[in-house]
Amino acid sequence: MSFQTLALDLRDGLAVLTVNRPDKLNALNDQVIGELGQAAAALGEDPAVRGVILTGAGSKAFVAGADISELASQGPAEGKARSLRGQAVFRRFEALRKPVVAAVNGFCLGGGCELAMACHLRLASAEARFGQPEVKLGIGPGYGGTVRLPRLVGRGRALELLLTGAMIDAQEAWRIGLVNRVVPADQLLPEAEKLMRGILAQGPLAVAAVLEAVDAGLEMSQDEALLLEANHFGLLSATEDMREGMAAFLAKRAAAFRSR
């Protein structure tokens, strides 16, 4: 895969995908959105990729938001179309049946915060800053901010951030549940990889099933979600990985999963 606005490093089953526009604080223009969509599709289909870490180039920003120069002249039809394109791309990452961890290394604002929220887990450097400042520009979030933020931090906290456009630091983001961990800046990528390696050591079919059950279950009634969980539980019980995992536990050895 070759990109102009992204960098991709693949090693031992782990893909590190970097938004690579540090001179623009990694702002999301239409080209970045398009390439992110291509990357999500390719990484999802590549059997050599078992997990993805998403980050931003440089030390200043994960993604500082959308490229305002593109938004300034848009009309209503163009604005809706741009929003739908971005939402579809971010949804691809969220719907991947491989774990996606955001390593947030600086400003994570607007579309950047929306991109991070579409990842399954979020690690933040101590210098990271989060916010949805769209109202300051006379618009609202367009890439899922009004949907995912309330689900992560609750309605009241989400509305305070969305309606004031306030920016919060990494510790506050952790306190309200927006990020999973805060780590020193120089340890961000090593800690993200350590977390990911811990996930990749588990049964891959089980990891995929958990991701699907949580993603789909959030939109179901409790009874429907419980049935989905039971279905996954039953299907996993027919796998070689389940038998290997059980045998390894009883033998007090590490499991050798084979995605079967």
Over its C-alpha atoms, the chain yields an Rg (Å, rounded) of 19
Beta-ladder partners of 18: 7, 55
- In the CATH hierarchy, which top-level class contains the domain 6-200? alpha beta
pLDDT, tens digit, 9 for 90 and up, residues 227-247: 999 999 999 999 999 898 889
Work out the mean pLDDT of the chain and round it to a whole number.
94
Which among 114, 191, 212, 219 is annotated as catalytic?
A: 114
Pick from 170, 177, 185, 64: nearest CA to 121 = 177
Which among 45, 94, 134, 244 is annotated as catalytic?
A: 134
Sign for the CA dihedral angle at 116, 49, 239, 245 comes to negative
Mark whether 134 is an active-site residue: yes
Going by the DSSP 8-state scheme, the letter that residue 24 receives in this structure is G
Mean pLDDT, residues 23-50: 95
Per-residue pLDDT, 31 = 95
Residue 2 or 209, more confident: 209
Q: For the purposes of burial, counting CB atoms within 10 Å of the CB of 76, is it exposed (0-12), middle (13-18) or buried (19 or more)?
A: exposed
Tell me which of 70-74, 126-130, 143-147, 217-221 is least confident: 70-74
CB 52 within 8 A of CB 206: no
CATH topology of domain 204-251: Lyase 2-enoyl-coa Hydratase; Chain  A, domain 2 (1.10.12)
- Tell me phi and psi for residue 3, to 5 degrees: -130, 160
Per-residue pLDDT, 234 = 95
Residue 68 or 130, more confident: 130
pLDDT, tens digit, 9 for 90 and up, residues 155-173: 999 999 999 999 999 999 9
Per-residue pLDDT, 245 = 87
pLDDT band at 122 (very low <50, low <70, confident <90, very high): very high
Tell me which of 30-39, 115-124, 190-199, 251-260 is least confident: 251-260
Strand-by-strand arrangement of the 167-169 sheet? 61-63, 107-109, 129-131, 167-169
Per-residue pLDDT, 226 = 95
What residue ranges do the domains of the chain occupy?
6-200, 204-251
- Tell me phi and psi for residue 6, to 5 degrees: -125, 155
Distance CA 28, CA 6 (A): 11
DSSP letter string, 172-231: HHHHTTS-SEEE-GGGHHHHHHHHHHHHHTS-HHHHHHHHHHHHHHTTS-HHHHHHHHHH
- pLDDT reading at 71 higher than 90: no
Beta-ladder partners of 109: 131
pLDDT band at 136 (very low <50, low <70, confident <90, very high): very high
- Tell me phi and psi for residue 9, to 5 degrees: -125, 120
Residue 97 or 1, more confident: 97
- pLDDT reading at 79 higher than 90: no
Per-residue pLDDT, 259 = 84
- State the Cα angle at 183 between 177 and 185, rounded to 5°: 125
pLDDT band at 178 (very low <50, low <70, confident <90, very high): very high
